Each structure stands twice: as C-alpha cells, then as structure tokens.
C-alpha cells in the first residue's frame, strides 16, 4: 500500500462532471487573489478538483465554501492512500489517521465517491465499507459514539477500489448534504422540473433564519419568464402572491389558485407599480443581458431580494461568470449581499441570490 503524501495536503472540491475546468479556474484565481501559490489537478469528467498549495489549511480558511460558485463541496485532503488491499482497507486508514496530526475526534463519517460516470460503480463499496469502518473508528477513538454535527466530519473518498483520499470538512464551512447534493423529489403538482432549481436555491443560498424571515405568507413576488410556472409554483407554495410575467401559457392549476396573476408581457421590459418582496427570473437569454436587467431591478428598488439564473456559454464559463457578476454589481450601484452557485439541478447555468444591504 502506497501512502502518498508527496503533494502535501490539498483542497478538494466536488463539482458537476464536465465543469472541472471552471472550478479549477475559479480556485486558481481566488487563491492567487488571496496571495496563495499553487496549482489545480483534475481530469475532465472526474467530478472533482484538487488544488495543491504549500498551506492548504490556510487557503481553505481564505476561500470560504459559501463564496465558491462551481464547488458542491469543499474538503481538506490530508492523506492519499493508493494500492489498498481489498482484504483490509481499514488498517491503512487507521494508520494514516494516527500519523496525520489531525485533532481527535470527528463527529461524523462519510464514505463517498465523486459524482461521475466513472465513479458511480463505487457506490456499493462506499455504503458497505462505511458500515465496517464506523465501529473501527469509534473503537480507535477517532469518531464520537453518536453523530456530533458540531465537530469536523471525516470523509473517505474512493476514487477506485484500491485508491481513497482521507479528508476533513467543518460543518460551518462545507455542504451539509452528502456529495454536496440535496436530493429533492419532483412534486406531482409541479408544472416543470425547473421548480427543483428554485427549491434548491432557497435551501442552499439562504440560511434557516433567512428562510424564516424572507419566505412569509402574503409576500408579493414576480416571476419573469414564468411559463409554464415552475418557479411561480414554488413561490406560491411558500405563501406568496405572484405576478407571473410571460407571453407563454401557465399551468391552469396555478391560475385557479387565486394567488397568481398572469401577465402576458416581456420580462425584460415589464416593471412593477410598487416595490415587491421578491423577483425571480429563469429566462433563457444572454447572461450579460439578464445581469443588466437584474441590476436595474435592484438599482430602481423594485424588489427587496432576487434569485435569478445566468445561462453560461459553452466556452470560458468561469470568465463569463465573473464578468456577469461584476456587471451586475456595478450596474446595481448599491452595496449588496450576493451569493452564487452552480446547483445540482442547474445545467449550463449558475443561480444567484442578491439583496441590497441596509
């Protein structure tokens, strides 16, 4: 068994398979801006990126998970175990932990694999191995007797049957969901699968307190480019009264609810008569045009907060993401809280939450 520490510790982030170059570019630029030298190591389609630097722990502190856009999960890798013997993978893991200098103990164990076509056959191994490893870790003093969500998590990430990375993550600086993916089910009454995008955005981009404060009965909202009504449906289920703006048809059940007004108009030209609590937008349009229009809503104080999607081009997607967010912030002309992420239910796009600061 080869315990490879030649690259030192590394930052490891999961992403949507195929978006490794975008995540690598984001990590590289953010690291350089924070004053850290290093390099990204990945393969397209692998579903993860390693960023190797002299002080991965310090870099992790400099790059909070909440600020990363293309990362689904952020881990600090402290051991890379190769040539594992299928008859005994536990002993090398315990030995690596003992020599790692990591503080005892972990509050939770996750045995997983990247979300990629190549790694999916490892799912059964991850499940069964987790059941075997958990009691061994508790006996050795590396894992609390019961899950403790306040302590760091231990992640064992299988890249192959004989290759696993050991990594840690703190609950306050990582995704709470396995693989960084909230598994949401399509509701039978939802007009379209796009509803899952807004549901995930509300779960991922807002914290518990913000959801309680910002999603209340009888709030007033607008949905630009609403048809067939997936995002309108989510807002309505959160108790809001919605103006759905689209020249296309809406699902009849939304209109029958009494909480939705359908305006056949262009989302790029319509404006509300009074300030709304929410504006959401999932229009298929050039991302810079969307960013400019969203900035107008913030600048003119037409809404208190917004969630919108930016559809990315096929090339230079990190560059376009950065340019669009800079354009949005500049054109809005107001201090804002901005959070952006490529969600699991997104495709060639990112989702943005923004609200002016008091």
Distance of alpha carbon 77 from alpha carbon 65, whole angstroms: 15
| C-alpha triplet 24, 81, 23: angle, nearest 5° | 10
87: CB partners within 8 A, 6+ apart: none
311 is catalytic: yes
Cα gap 357→350, rounded to integer Å:
22
For residue 7, say whether it is annotated as part of any ligand binding site. Answer: no
Which position among 197, 311, 315, 316 bears the catalytic label? 311
Among 28, 21, 68, CA closest to 43: 21
Question: In angstroms, what CA-CA distances link 168 with 13, 106, 124?
Answer: 12, 9, 22
Helices (H), the chain: 20-33, 56-62, 90-98, 123-139, 194-204, 208-214, 230-237, 252-256, 287-299, 317-332
The response to whether 221 counts as a known ligand-binding position is no
Does 229 show up as a binding residue in the annotation? yes
Q: How far apart are CA 300 and CA 325, in angstroms?
A: 18
Distance of alpha carbon 74 from alpha carbon 120, whole angstroms: 20
Among candidates 284, 336, 283, which has minimal Cα distance to 305?
Answer: 336
Strand partners, 168: 76, 154
DSSP code string of 218-272:
T-EEEEET-TT-HHHHHHHHTT-EEEEE-SSPPPHHHHHTSSEEEE-S-TTT---
CA nearest 194: which of 241, 244, 256?
A: 244
Q: Is 60 annotated as a binding residue?
A: no
Listed residue (149, 197, 194, 144) closest to 174, CA to CA: 149
Residue 358 assigned as binding residue: no
258 among the known binding-site residues?
no
Bridge partners (DSSP) listed for residue 352: 308, 340
Neighbours of 159 (CB within 10 A): 19
Residue 266, marked binder: yes
Largest alpha-carbon pair distance within the chain? 69
80 is in an annotated binding site: no
| Binding-site residue ranges for S-adenosyl-L-methionine | 194, 227-230, 246, 266, 282
| Binding-site residue ranges | 194, 227-230, 246, 266, 282
- What residues act catalytically? 311
């Amino acid at each position: 068994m080869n315990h490879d520490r030649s690259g030192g510790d590394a930052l490891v982030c999961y992403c949507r398979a195929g978006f490794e170059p975008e995540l690598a570019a984001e990590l590289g630029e953010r690291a350089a801006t924070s004053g850290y030298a290093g390099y990204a190591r990945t393969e397209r389609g692998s579903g993860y990126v390693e960023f190797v630097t002299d002080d991965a722990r310090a870099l992790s502190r400099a790059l909070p998970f909440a600020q990363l856009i293309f990362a689904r999960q952020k881990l600090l890798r402290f051991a890379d175990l190769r040539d594992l013997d299928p008859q005994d993978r536990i002993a090398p893991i315990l030995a690596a932990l003992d020599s790692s200098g990591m503080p005892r103990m972990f509050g939770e164990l996750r045995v997983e694999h990247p979300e990629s076509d190549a790694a999916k056959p490892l799912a059964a191994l991850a499940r069964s191995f987790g059941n075997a490893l958990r009691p061994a870790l508790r006996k050795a003093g590396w894992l609390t007797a019961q899950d403790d969500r306040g302590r760091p998590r231990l992640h064992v990430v299988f890249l192959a049957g004989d290759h696993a990375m050991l990594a840690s993550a703190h609950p306050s600086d990582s995704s709470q969901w396995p693989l960084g993916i909230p598994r949401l089910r399509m509701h039978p009454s939802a007009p379209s699968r796009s509803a899952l995008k807004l549901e995930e955005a509300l779960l991922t981009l807002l914290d518990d307190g913000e959801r309680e404060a910002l999603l209340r009965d009888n709030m007033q909202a607008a949905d630009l480019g609403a048809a067939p009504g997936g995002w309108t449906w989510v807002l309505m289920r959160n108790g809001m009264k919605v103006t759905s703006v689209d020249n296309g048809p809406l699902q009849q059940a939304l209109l029958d609810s009494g909480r939705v007004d359908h305006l056949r108009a262009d989302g790029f030209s319509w404006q509300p008569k009074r300030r709304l609590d929410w504006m959401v937008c999932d229009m298929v349009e050039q991302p810079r045009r969307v960013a400019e229009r969203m900035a107008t809503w913030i600048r003119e104080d037409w809404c208190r907060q917004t969630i919108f999607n930016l559809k990315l081009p096929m090339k230079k997607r990190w560059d376009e993401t950065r340019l669009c967010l800079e354009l949005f912030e500049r054109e809005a002309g107001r201090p804002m809280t901005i959070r952006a992420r490529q969600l699991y239910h997104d495709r060639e796009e990112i989702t943005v939450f923004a609200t002016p600061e008091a």
